[in-house]
Amino acid sequence: MDVYAYNDCVHQWTDALFRFACKCTGNEEDARDIVQNSFVVLWEKREAVPSEKAKPFLFQVAYRQSIDHYRKRKDLTGGELPDTAATADGSNPDLKKVLDHALSKLDEQSRALVLLKDYEGYKYEEIARITGLTDAQVRVYLHRARKTLKSFIVRVDNLI
């Protein structure tokens, strides 16, 4: 990958990577650091990373940094993730807020898996390659996360 392809990756994937890191860490400043570090690593490894593999490579680096960040914060604060900001879509703000809250209650790994699945549309195998898990592990963790989110929504619906 040359400098032109690298700059193309910056233009194409920075915002998506930032959103992923924001939801994983719950903090925009931490997310910004993660994005910058991810691109530093990509630049250093650009000779070995072809252009078409740049996106999963970036998300792989961001995922590992998010997990590391969570573990450091867990030691300090107990691991509870603050609720993320409200979304701009006003069509169903309650549902989105509920989902954001539910997402923050998941463990860091399950949260990352759901984000990779829903935000980026990766298949189980691709998520396995990014996270270093097996296909079976990805499927099981995602299913559990999905059921947790669903039970949150059902509970809120019942309350409403």
Partner 1 sequence: MVNSENYEEYLVLHADGELDEAETAALMAFIAGHPELKAELDAYESTRLVPDESLVFGPKASLLKEVPARKTISLKGWWAYGAAAGLLLVAGIGILRQTGQRTATGISAMAAATADLHRPEPVPLPAVTPANAVAQAPATPIRKEEVKTTTVPSTVAPVTGDIQLAQLTPRPAQSIPQPAMAEAPSAPELIFASAAAPADREGDLLALAEKKEALSLLGDAAAEQIDKVKKIRNSIKGTELAVTIGSRELFTLHF
Which residues in this chain contact partner 1 in the complex, by CB under 8 A? 2-4, 6-8, 10-11, 14-19, 22, 32, 35-36, 39, 43, 85, 87-89, 95-96, 99, 103, 114-115, 117-119, 121, 123-124, 142-143, 146-147, 149-150, 153-154, 157
Could you tell me if 149 and 101 are in contact, meaning their C-beta atoms sit under 8 angstroms apart? no
Enumerate residues 6+ apart whose C-beta is below 8 A from 128: 134, 135, 137, 138
Nearer to partner 1 (CB atom), residue 78 or residue 140: 140
Q: Which two tokens stand for residue 153?
A: 């929504």
Could you tell me if 20 and 69 are in contact, meaning their C-beta atoms sit under 8 angstroms apart? no
Q: Reduced to 3 states, what is the DSSP secondary structure of residue 129?
A: helix
For the bound state, the minimum distance from the C-beta of residue 64 to partner 1, rounded and expressed in Å, comes to: 19
For the bound state, the minimum distance from the C-beta of residue 67 to partner 1, rounded and expressed in Å, comes to: 19
For the bound state, the minimum distance from the C-beta of residue 75 to partner 1, rounded and expressed in Å, comes to: 27
Nearer to partner 1 (CB atom), residue 128 or residue 142: 142
| C-alpha distance from residue 90 to each of 78, 87, 97, 99 (Å) | 32, 8, 11, 14
Nearer to partner 1 (CB atom), residue 51 or residue 60: 51
Nearer to partner 1 (CB atom), residue 76 or residue 103: 103
